[in-house]
Structure 1
Amino acid sequence: MELIKCLHCNEDNKTNARYCRYCGYELPKAAPKELLEKQVAKQTKSSTKKKLIVALVSVVAFVVAFLVVQQLVQRVFSFDKVLMKTASELNEACPFMVDAETRLDNAAAMPDNTFQYNYSLMTLVKDSIDISSFEAYLIPQITNNIKTNPDMELFRVNQVTMNYKYVDKNGVFITKISVGPEQYNE
């Protein structure tokens, strides 16, 4: 037999009693067992739904974050491949004379999103060159070419640093000019 406790004296009374048989205070209304079971089941079902929704939202958030990271990583790796392929295709035609004094020896895809052209100055030796004047002459021309040449758009969009390395006719290093996104995006 089920009992109900008096809220005043804490004594057990029959479930169907309206007043406490010990102190006379009105007893709380006893809910039928079926009603209590339904309420517990409803609360459990509601709690389960909330847990399911939280779990589902967590899984969706994880999947979205994972895909975003994958796309970013894949873009970096795939552009490295583009740089390597561009260098390889260009190197098939190298070496070739760019003008009467300058030969493009080769090109290379470098780390950190960098592309490098390697040139030889065929009629000059390092001691006969004023390097600061040489750089002052070339930097604006190179920068302007990167800014305006339609063939350089892919490099501009992907924020590639462009290196131009020069050696003299004997292979002695003269200078390396680097033009980065901060210069050609001005």
Structure 2
Amino acid sequence: MQEKKGKNNKLSIAIVSVLLLVVLLWTMVQYDFFSEKSVPVNTEISELVVQYNKNCPLTIQEGIRLDSVSLPKEKVVQYNLTLVKVEKTTAEIQTIKENIEASLVSTAKANPGLKTFREQNYTLIYDYSDKKKAHLFDVTITSDQYK
């Protein structure tokens, strides 16, 4: 009799555990499908980013490689670049950043490849790493700077 009671207890615990697991999984699925965690993205912009990434990695200038492009937030595009001849431990990072930043603002104003982003007032983030993938600096250009 005691053995039968123990088996029923184990069976009850197993059933409750399975039910809890099912409820947990169902909740996770509902959260993933119905949450507003994803930011709505303009289809034209997302297609443009996909095209950029198909061509990556791409040497865009001697010593500068475009590794990828992403849309981290609404109305923000991020270019991930590598300075292939620079090593963080020996570089004058502030000087490099100042030179690049001045160039990027004029490029953002005139580059026909950025026209779609300009027309839709996107913020442009340029994220630079060294040849060993160590982060160097970011340059952020807002629509106010390139208009």
TM-score (normalised: structure 1): 0.55
Contact 1:80 1:109 in 2 (8 A): no
Contact 2:45 2:116 in 1 (8 A): no
Residue 74 of structure 2 aligns to a residue in which SS? coil
2:126 equivalent among 164, 170, 182: 164
Matching of residues 13-24 of structure 1 within 5 Å: none
Is 1:119–2:81 an aligned residue pair?
A: yes
Match of 1:90 in 2: 52
Displacement of 1:143 after TM fit?
Answer: 0.7
1:142 equivalent among 90, 99, 104: 104
Contact 1:161 1:181 in 2 (8 A): yes
2:115 equivalent among 142, 153, 167: 153
Aligned-partner residue type, residue 54 of structure 2:
E
- In 2, Cα distance between the equivalents of 1:102 and 1:150? 19
Displacement of 1:146 after TM fit?
Answer: 0.9
List 4+ stretches of structure 1 deviating above 4 A: none
Matching of residues 1-186 of structure 1 within 5 Å: 77=40, 80-185=42-147
Identity of aligned residues (%): 23
- In 2, Cα distance between the equivalents of 1:87 and 1:96? 14
Displacement of 1:151 after TM fit?
Answer: 2.5
- In 1, Cα distance between the equivalents of 2:49 and 2:108? 16
Contact 1:104 1:117 in 2 (8 A): yes
Contact 1:83 1:115 in 2 (8 A): no
Aligned-partner residue type, residue 158 of structure 1:
Q
Deviations 1:151-179 (A, max 9, x none): 22221111100011111111100001110
Match of 1:70 in 2: none
Deviations 1:96-140 (A, max 9, x none): 212331111111122121011111111211122222211210112
Aligned-partner residue type, residue 96 of structure 1:
L
Displacement of 1:80 after TM fit?
Answer: 2.5
Over aligned residues, Cα RMSD in angstroms?
1.7
Contact 1:110 1:116 in 2 (8 A): yes
TM-score (normalised: structure 2): 0.68
Structure with the greater alpha carbon radius of gyration: 1
- In 2, Cα distance between the equivalents of 1:86 and 1:152? 10
Aligned-partner residue type, residue 92 of structure 2:
D
